[in-house]
Amino acid sequence: MDPVIWFFLLGVLAGFMRSDLRMPKAVYELLSMILLLTIGLKGGVELAQQPVGGLALQVLAVASIGVVLPLVVFSVIRALSTVARADAASLAAHYGSVSVATYAVGVSFLATRNVPVDAQLPLFLVILEVPAIMIGIVLAKGAAARSNWGGVMHEVFLGKSIVLLIGGLLIGWLSGPVGIEPLEPLFFDLFKGVLALFLLEMGLIAANQAGDLKRRATLVILTGILTPVPAAMLGIGVGHLIGLNVGGMTLLGVLAGSASYIAAPAAMRIAVPDANPSLSLSASLGITFPFNIFIGVPLYHEAAKWLAGAGA
Amino acid sequence: MEITEVKLLTIIAEAVLEPQLIEVVEEKGAGGYTITDARGSGSRGVRSAGWTHNGNIRLEVICTSDVADDIAACLRERYYADYAMVLFVTDVGVLRPDKF
């Protein structure tokens, strides 16, 4: 197992055993900034080296995953449970949107195995983050309902994850591999170490969220475990259709199968106040995130290999 | 030394509400405010300052009694039902009442 995963387990254990281990907020923010910039820069540098043809069509296909996923999640949850409309819509937004930490674990997994990844994946990460959140809000309120769209749009498009990912992509693209070389020690060489520390804190937070899991535990656990795999298969399938390599298919699967725990909770809290925030958060962070990093990522990689082999 | 009595309005609420709270405070005519990160526990469970999404802030406003009433009424109507929020008013003395 990738050693960074052990750090997550350490965090979970420390959290459950009520250790006094806590990561200062500023350190956590810095680590997440480095991760986001690294992912953006890496993609930008690779895009500068090998221009990608047919990008517009690929972007459209990826965006459609972000539209289809929340609609399906919402319909299935509404059909199979008695959960309130606002809560189902919030879950749909979380599961349609993406988790950068899961993506980073996927990148680390593939790097350990020397699997090459298409350059445009960080761009797909940006594209998948947004649509589901807007659809979730519309599902909760109906399109006609008055809501503070200005504030929500600001939250979604100018949230730090989008700003840093797009900023990193542009800087990497403009600088190219030679220009970015002096920055490599911080952003590329330290990637695994930063990810390990970040996952330690994620473990602490996840333990906290799992502890929150009292009401509607069945719904949360079932949603958390049953959503990622079919969603990831959709991502892998679309990745195959738009001609990604095995690494790219794996990561698109990881993105589709992951659930947001930063952008979506903040936006839903503002836009859909009557949705219970701990319901979506304990599903995405307490269940789906650990599921994906332990079982999901290797599983999606196998599925991508199989599909690529079957298509060849 | 002449001390004038004004109100100190303290709001403890979810960190995610910060921009909305500031908007209300400014709109109702308060001259300024102070925000600090806060943590604690209450009817909505433990709220830690460590992580943005279940973090709390403590927003303090020194203002006239009318402004404090306006802000409190507005926040109660908009946010009490769905958000973790505690709000209280105390009397404080200040030296420069024109500031508030």
pLDDT in tens, A41-52: 988 998 888 776
CA atoms within 13 A on the CB side of A82: 1
Q: What is the pLDDT of residue A146?
A: 58
Test B82 with A274 for CB contact under 8 angstroms.
yes
- Report whether A97 contacts A263 (CB < 8 A): yes
**Confidence band, pLDDT 50/70/90 cuts, at residue B84:** confident
CA atoms within 13 A on the CB side of A80: 12
Q: What is the pLDDT of residue A264?
A: 86
Q: Is the pLDDT of residue B75 over 60?
A: yes
pTM: 0.86
Q: What is the pLDDT of residue A155?
A: 73
Closest chain B residue to A275 measured between Cα atoms? B82
Q: How far is CA A23 from CA A85, A109, A193, A288, B51, in A?
A: 36, 25, 15, 22, 9
Q: Kind and range of the H or E element at B14?
A: strand B4-14
Tell whether A211 is within 8 A of chain B (Cβ): no
Which residues of chain A neighbour B14 with C-beta distances below 8 Å?
269
Q: What is the pLDDT of residue B49?
A: 47
A22, A151, A266 ranked by CB distance to B53: nearest: A266
Q: Is the pLDDT of residue B1 over 90?
A: no
Test B51 with A205 for CB contact under 8 angstroms.
yes
Tell whether A269 is within 8 A of chain B (Cβ): yes
**Cβ neighbours for A289, distance < 8 A, ≥ 6 positions apart:** A99, A101, A102, A202, A206, A258, A259, A261
- Report whether A244 contacts A93 (CB < 8 A): no
Number of domains in chain A: 1
Low-confidence ranges of chain A (pLDDT < 70): 52, 143-148, 311-312
**pLDDT one-digit tens code per residue, A66-106:** 999 999 999 999 999 888 999 999 999 999 999 999 999 99
Domain hosting A75: range is 3-311
Instruction: Give the closest-approach CA distance of B57 to chain A in angstroms.
Output: 14
Alpha carbon A167 to its chain's center:
18
Q: What is the token pair recorded at A87?
A: 């809560």
> Which of A108, A81, A132, A116 shows the shortest CA–CA distance to A234?
A132
Tell me the average pLDDT of chain B.
Answer: 87
Q: Which fold has domain B4-93?
A: Alpha-Beta Plaits (3.30.70)
Test B45 with A212 for CB contact under 8 angstroms.
yes
Alpha carbon A154 to its chain's center:
20
Test A25 with B49 for CB contact under 8 angstroms.
yes
Q: Is the pLDDT of residue B46 over 90?
A: no
Test A25 with B14 for CB contact under 8 angstroms.
no
CA–CA separation, A241 vs A304, rounded Å?
12
- The larger pLDDT score, comparing residue B91 to residue A207, is at B91
* % of chain B surpassing 90 pLDDT: 56
Which residues of chain B neighbour A212 with C-beta distances below 8 Å?
45
The CATH number of whichever domain residue A272 belongs to comes to 1.20.1530.20
